[in-house]
Structure 1
Amino acid sequence: MITYKEVGMKYEKNVVLHDINLTIDDGELFVLVGPSGSGKTTLLRMLNRLTVPTDGNVYFDDKKIKDYDVQKLRLDMGYVLQDSSLFPNLNVEDNIAIQLEQKGVSKQERHQRAAELLESVELDPKKYAKRMPDELSGGQQQRVAIIRALATSPKLVLMDESFSALDPVLRRKSQDLVLKLHAKYKMTVVFVTHDMQEALRMGQKIAILNQGEVQQVGTPHEIMQNPANDFVKKFFGTKTPHWWNMDFLIGSKVLTEIQNSTDYPEVEQFGELVNSLKDHTEIKFSYQNKAYSLTPQQLLAYFEKEGDNQ
């Protein structure tokens, strides 16, 4: 568990963060979202001690971050930046395994771990392990950066605007990849973005920041259904009704979840469901590694309920 208790940050007279209180549960994909300069990256960097708060304390597993050995702390965390930040003089395998090497893991174990992780992101180790970073596409580099962050099987992975430099197609694929890996490895992920749509898609829990203060914390559904103030409402406002969104639909609990089955077609867009139901009395589909069923009656009830709340 991560806890921020009355955390503040000042640079001389400039107040970057003010009285931050947050709790991030183990295994949660937690998103910090807000406009540029809101303090979200500063909060993230406190977790690996790249930034030290001037007020309050940050706790990791009930121990103050400042009381950890900084080298051990960072070796036991994953960190994915905006660009891939791969070491240009190391091949892919060595990039992935660099933290393992620093922890004294044998060469054979490093080789096996790198191969396993490459396979998990559909990069054939026989083809890619010995390539240099400049021999990879931008999307491939980012995939390697993501699995490098997982090499030590960390409890915590930090992601700072990790997809903002990618084009929309690669960004979507990278989001899917992180959601898939999070479901598989169950690590805690703290994810920083300025993009509210990305926040809604990625976050199990979201904290919205503005001018160094937390405006609201909640699930995507809670935030869209009950924005805490005008800033949150405006920040998440779009021309499309906000409930025309897969994550919002899932959070509304109108769907019937199918247990122990992922043998149904994957759906990514809300509109796909609407089109499918035009010709069926019931559809079954999967979304983010869970399966659901939906009937036209359920969807109509959802439209009526959420439309009435606008």
Structure 2
Amino acid sequence: MKSRNFISREWARHYTINHLTGEIQFGDGKYGMIPPQGRNNIPMTRHKTDGGARGNKPANTINQLKTTIPYIDRVINLEAAAGGSDREPIDRVQERGQKFIRHRGGAVTVQDFEDLAYEASADIARVKAIAPTYDPLTEELWLDRNIKQEERDARVNKLKEIKAGLVKLFIVPRNDSPQPIPSLALIDRVETYLRDRASPTLNLWVGSPQWLQVSVTAEVVPTALEFADAVRTAVIQRLETFLHPLTGGVSGQGWEFGREPHESDFYSLIEAIDSVDYVRSLSVKIEPEPPSPPEPFLIFSGSHNITLFLSEIGG
């Protein structure tokens, strides 16, 4: 146990603790004292650790006791277990360090809000911040006499709906769910973290982006009859993987905010599967309608209807 400015002597009752794994390491007799032999000779007043991201369990999934407790029949978690995270990758640490030099721990620009949101929790995978974009001072309706009264009233109502200075922050948690929606605990943590580092007059909203469900209906011709069941399963699995918002897409890095897939993406995706001869027809259904810019959205996989045309095998 030694550092540039400090060295533990052989008599020092020092130890190190890994806050990620909960591992405690004592001295070796040269750097730090070796604990005395025996049992129950190392008191600990408080110790806290978690299991990383695997400890984040949905509600109503923890239903077993590891040890029996008198008068307790059963247990259940009414709320989701959240907040656990794995060790931060070194490349993300390096990237975060560069961004800190720019924002210095203060949220001013849109980029600052996004960077600080990542620092609020390692459980966040994607962030999108939107600053106010509607400036009534730039509108010409107040001076243009040619604008009809109906249009003038519509713009006035729009001004009333928009809250001045409102910053919207859309966050997506890091998990394998087809539609990763942030928990209330995560939203509260990010909002609190940002408010502590922004102007007291900040008007901030933190939540989930709008989600668009993508469902594919396709008619597929397999290369052979014996591959029929395997082809249907493979096509559905490939579609679900491709449409995952965080790990899908062409590059496997997820989908950008506001990006919709095209039919050509699915044609090439399905026809690249082994035992698929060709796609006879294909249609894509996206619902609901995408929001108006600049409101962001993300896609996720819906239910897919795959029909096999066995009569055209070898045709």
Q: TM-score range by the shorter chain?
A: under 0.3
Higher relative contact order (CA 8 A, sep 6+): 1
Structure with the larger strand share: 1
Provide TM-score, normalisation by structure 1: 0.26
Bigger radius of gyration, 1 or 2?
2
